[in-house]
Amino acid sequence: MPFTLQPSYDDRPRLQDLVVRLRAYLADELIPYEREHGITAETKLDRATLEHVWKRSAELGFYGISLPRELGGKGLSFYELCALKEELTASGAALSHSVLGDMGGPLRVGAIVKHATEEQRERYLMPVVRGERACCFSITEEDAGSDVRRMTTTATPDGDAFVLNGKKVFSSAAPFADFAIVVARMNGTEEVYSAFLVDLDTPGCRVLDGEVPMSGQQMEGDLVFEDCRIPAANLLGEVGQGLRIGIGRITLNRLLHCPSLIGAARRAWDLSLEYATNRVVFGQPLLAHQAIHHKIAEMATEIYAARAMVMTTAAKADRGDNVSVEANMCKLFTSEASFRVADQAVQIHGKAGLTRGHEVEQIFRSLRMFRIVTGTTEIHKNAIAKGLI
Ligand SMILES: Cc1cc2nc3c(=O)[nH]c(=O)nc-3n(C[C@H](O)[C@H](O)[C@H](O)COP(=O)(O)OP(=O)(O)OC[C@H]3O[C@@H](n4cnc5c(N)ncnc54)[C@H](O)[C@@H]3O)c2cc1C
């Protein structure tokens, strides 16, 4: 089989079938729906639009597909999940983040299920799996990002409750979420952190519109807690496990973000090839120039290298290996490589690629963020070195 940037997974019939069906849903339904409703990556999304996508994706069996069978999923392997996630962003669909449940959905809660009590599962996690409720994850604060231990949001035990005070920023999906998984410092301690399930309509909790990041996506929110009483039953895991729950999820998230970046780079590559084929300069298509061939070749090589790393690591994670070093390597390499691909794509597109709202320009801005989001390049390097030395 000759090399192609669009994998066919011939050796994995179940995955091949899922990929074919997912591509058809994205191309034949979701993208036309977005066009009909004028939805772009920068549209401020309302709950009704998102629920439409959650429900339809659930009907087709995609929403929550990665969860274990007992939670209503298909128990996908990490390898299969990575393959599907790459297809989502490679399609260019603006709502692709809501098909498997990345944004506020099952992919947000999947990794914390094992810490939840039976009651928490029924009240919080299962409604997310069914597309009835949405959640966000809140650990970052204004003065606590990479160094999360600097957080100042506190939880104070008070009878059969905990009282939260403080402010979280940049919580993705907060504007349309029903509850948050919040990590807070136990009041009066130096280094004891706990995680809580917090209904966002609890008295003393306010959700503010967050800053709009350079991608232009309007999906971030800030959470303000002022004497916000949370029932003790909403403690996730045990007192003191908050960072382990939060950071355990982040490690997995680092790996699972990679295929989304690869898909976006693939989309930039597709658009570049199409543009270079049709754009005429000096009497011939742009693609006739060898300098453009080199760019196309370099971009494809970066995508292939990133995918090879990510899929190898995903297969290792499926075997139950500890992949914390490799996951950081994948996120480090993939975020940098996919941004280089986006940069080349802008170059090939000339002024069109610099024009506000052009798809390549939006991909460039989005991919720039992932050298910071879910762990910065420098923090990945620290983690890799720490794991090796
Ligand atoms: C679009 C978006 C969505 C987000 N979603 C969420 C979310 O859902 N939930 C959530 O809790 N957070 C979220 N975040 C926050 C995100 O995880 C943080 O921005 C990230 O962890 C970095 O923290 P910081 O921005 O405070 O940078 P800082 O930690 O202040 O770092 C600034 C710079 O210093 C460098 N640096 C820091 N420490 C070291 C070191 N030890 N060695 C070398 N260099 C270092 C960093 O690499 C970086 O270059 C989101 C952010 C964005 C932009």
Residue 377 CA to ligand 1 center (angstroms) comes to: 10
Report the candidate in 76, 71, 53, 201 with the shortest Cα–Cα distance to residue 125: 71
Q: Tell which atom from ligand 1 comes closest to the C-alpha of 379.
A: 47
pLDDT by residue, tens only, the chain of 389 residues: 678 899 999 999 999 999 999 999 999 999 999 999 999 999 999 999 999 999 999 999 999 998 888 888 888 999 999 999 999 999 999 999 999 999 999 887 777 778 999 999 999 999 998 899 999 999 999 999 999 999 999 999 999 999 999 999 999 999 999 999 999 999 999 999 999 999 999 999 999 999 999 999 999 999 999 999 999 999 999 999 999 888 776 778 899 999 999 999 999 999 999 999 999 999 999 999 999 999 999 999 999 999 999 999 999 999 999 999 999 999 999 999 999 999 999 999 999 999 999 999 999 999 999 999 989 999 999 999 999 99
pLDDT attached to residue 291: 94
Instruction: Tell me the CA–centroid distance for residue 228 and ligand 1, in Å.
Output: 26
> How many Å lie between the centroid of ligand 1 and the Cα of residue 373?
6
Give the position, in ligand 1's atom list, of the atom nearest the Cα of 136.
8
Sequence-distant (≥ 6) Cβ neighbours of residue 325 within 8 angstroms: 383, 384, 387, 388
Domain 249-388, CATH number (from 1.20.140.10, 3.30.2000.10, 3.60.150.10, 3.40.1080.10): 1.20.140.10
Distance 296 CA to ligand 1 centre (A): 32
Output the residue whose Cα is nearest ligand 1's atom 9.
171
User: What integer pLDDT is reported at residue 378 of this predicted model?
Assistant: 97
Nearest to 225 by CA among 284, 301, 174: 174
Q: Alpha-carbon Rg of the chain, whole angstroms?
A: 21
Residue 348 and residue 269: Cα distance in Å, rounded? 10
Would you list the domain boundaries of the chain? 13-102, 135-241, 249-388
Report the C-alpha gap between 174 and 193 in whole angstroms: 21
From the CA of 205, how far away is ligand 1's center (Å)?
24
CA 204, CA 226: separation in Å to the nearest integer?
A: 5
Q: Identify which of 109, 146, 374 to mutate to test ligand 1's pocket (most ligand atoms within 8 A of the CB).
A: 146
Q: What is the CATH number of domain 13-102?
A: 1.10.540.10
- Ligand 1-lining residues (CB < 6 angstroms): 137-140, 145-147, 170-172, 213, 220, 369, 372-374, 376, 378-379, 382
Res 122: pLDDT? 92
- Name the closest-CA residue to atom 23, ligand 1: 145
Residue of 42, 137, 141, 170 to mutate, ligand 1, most atoms within 8 A of C-beta: 170
Distance of CA 137 from the midpoint of ligand 1 (Å):
14
**Alpha carbon of 372 to ligand 1 centroid (Å):** 6
Q: Strands 280-281, 205-209: parallel, antiparallel or unpaired by DSSP? A: unpaired
Question: CA 282 to CA 278: how far, in whole Å?
Answer: 13
Q: Ligand 1, residues 379, 381, 382, 386: which to mutate, most atoms within 8 A of Cβ?
A: 379
Mutate to test the pocket of ligand 1, among 198, 372, 380, 381 (most ligand atoms within 8 A of CB): 372
Asked whether the domain spanning 249-388 has the same topology as the one spanning 135-241, the reply is no
pTM: 0.95
Q: CA dihedral in degrees (88, 93, 99, 100; nearest 10)?
A: 30
Query: Using CA of residue 48, residue 51, residue 53, residue 56, what is the dihedral sign?
Result: negative
Q: Does domain 135-241 have CATH number 2.60.60.20?
A: no
Looking at ligand 1, which atom is closest to the CA of residue 378? 47
Which protein residue has the closest C-alpha to ligand 1 atom 36? 378
Q: What share of the chain is helix, strand, coil (3-state, %, to 5)?
A: 55, 15, 30
